[in-house]
Amino acid sequence: MRAPGAGRPARLVRRLCSPAVRGADAVTGGQGRLRLPADLPAPLGYDAVGVDAALGPRITGKPLRAGCVFADAERWWWIVPSGADIGVAWPPAARYAAGALVAAHPPGSGPRLAHRPEDGIPYTHPVVLYIAVCNAVGVRPVWTERRDPGAVREPPRGRGPGGAGSGQSLR
């Protein structure tokens, strides 16, 4: 993935860097929200996963179908569905931004849309991105399971001897 506008016609660069698809909307607390292009719906809501700009090309080189990716000189941000942090422990090299809230930048600077998906789906698959980030930084993926500690787990039921629908039980 190239820097925003690299090797593109001037008209396209102006479009990619226009306020409609650039940067973050101002929000309180020194943060702004990465803004998706108006014609890309995000019915699941969206969060963002960011890594240092130097790490970005190592992640995009993996077999990864990228949704919207924002980039600047400091960080690359992939758009993921809301709640993509549940069940995974993102490595320290990644920053998970709920609501795609990132540090605010002065007008005219900050993350710009560097990749727009051709299929119109703004999301990068979070599990594939998680594995790509872990591989890029050389750490093993860690999966967590959120479950009520008092919950009783039922054994799986299948067909066959003693399984559901067999009419037999194992004792």
Specify if 156 maps to a domain.
Answer: no
Per-10-residue mean pLDDT, the chain, length 171: 41 33 49 93 97 92 86 95 92 95 85 93 95 94 66 44 42 38
What's the pLDDT at 123?
A: 97
What's the pLDDT at 146?
A: 59
Specify if 168 maps to a domain.
Answer: no
Give how many domains the chain has, as a whole number: 1
What's the pLDDT at 67?
A: 95
Specify if 30 maps to a domain.
Answer: yes
Specify if 163 maps to a domain.
Answer: no
Give CA angle at 52 (96, 74), nearest 5°. 105
Report in angstroms the alpha-carbon separations of 130 from 82, 115, 126.
14, 18, 6
pLDDT tens digit sequence for 84-133: 999 888 999 999 999 999 998 887 788 999 999 999 999 999 999 999 99
What's the pLDDT at 142?
A: 86
Specify if 85 maps to a domain.
Answer: yes
How many residues can be counted in the chain?
Answer: 171
* Beta-sheet strand order (sheet of 101-103): 24-27, 31-34, 101-103
Specify if 149 maps to a domain.
Answer: no
Specify if 40 maps to a domain.
Answer: yes
What's the pLDDT at 29?
A: 57
Question: CB of 72 within 8 A of CB of 111?
Answer: yes
Question: CB of 113 within 8 A of CB of 16?
Answer: yes
* Beta-sheet strand order (sheet of 69-71): 94-97, 47-52, 75-80, 69-71, 112-115
Specify if 63 maps to a domain.
Answer: yes
Residue 69 is part of which domain span? 10-137
